[in-house]
Structure 1
Amino acid sequence: MTSARETQQELIGLGRHLRQAIPGVYAGYAQLHSAAMGDDGALPARIKELIALAIAVTRECDGCIASHARAAARRGATAQEVAETMGVAILMNGGPATVWGPRAYAAFEEFADGVSASS
């Protein structure tokens, strides 16, 4: 299995040319992302990242898993919070989440190690 960091780097490289071709779309997406994931609403950004991580598991999106696992780690999510979030994803998505949930948990652990090492 490719590491979450490798997946993220690969997708950044692949997306660069498309971003150059349709900059307005990517700018709009970035604005939507900031509005949806910001810390200024009723839900803390950490919780929003956990929700996004669960959705990424149900969508079977490795790039989404890498992105939101990293963001969850950076925003202070704990390993137990991620594990319980994966439990909800398994409940809502069944069998496929038993494959993608462990991948998301491993991605979180990969990024969480870097967060605690740099703190």
Structure 2
Amino acid sequence: MIERKIDMTDYQQELNEVMANNQQLFASTGATGQAFLGVHEEAIKAGALDSKTKALEALGIAVAIRCEGCIVQHVKGAIKLGATRDEIVETINVAIMMGGGPSTVYGGKALACADQFLAGAAK
């Protein structure tokens, strides 16, 4: 019988590591880092689409391109902006459509991350 390992990733710890790495990177990259942060801020700002929708779009792209650090950041951001588990699942569904089989792996990670963050918010 094959034993299955359950994903016990601590997504808050992973988020903290990604954010610490980003902070060091952007402190070192000067104008380039600041410009990227400006692009992010401007792109996520509400306009014709609200910020939550844009955060969900970013999450879907992160799943489709298989960027784990991006997934953790955009799950957290989407939840902070009011995204529900159902909205995250539908976002993952679209990412799977666009990204194929590999997106099912990263979509599973995104859902596990969302469940962990949402459970923490309920405490």
- TM-score normalized by the length of structure 1: 0.88
Corresponding residue of 2:54: 48
2:32 and 2:20 mapped to 1: Cα distance?
Answer: 17
Deviation, structure 1 residue 115: 3.2
Q: 1:28 aligns with which of 35, 42, 50?
A: 35
Deviation, structure 1 residue 82: 0.7
Cα-Cα RMSD = 1.5
Corresponding residue of 1:60: 66
Q: How many pairs are equivalent?
A: 116
2:84 and 2:53 mapped to 1: Cα distance?
Answer: 11
Q: 1:91 aligns with which of 90, 97, 102?
A: 97
Letter in 1 for 2:98: M
Letter in 1 for 2:73: S
Greater Rg over alpha carbons, structure: 2
The answer (yes or no) to whether the contact 1:7–1:62 under 8 Å persists in 2 is no
Corresponding residue of 1:109: 115
Corresponding residue of 2:106: 100
Q: Which runs of 5+ in 1 are unaligned?
A: none
1:16-67 Cα deviation digits (max 9, x unpaired): 433222121121111111110012x011111111110010001111110010
- TM-score normalized by the length of structure 2: 0.85
Asked if 1:80 is matched to 2:83, the reply is: no
Q: 1:10 aligns with which of 17, 20, 26?
A: 17
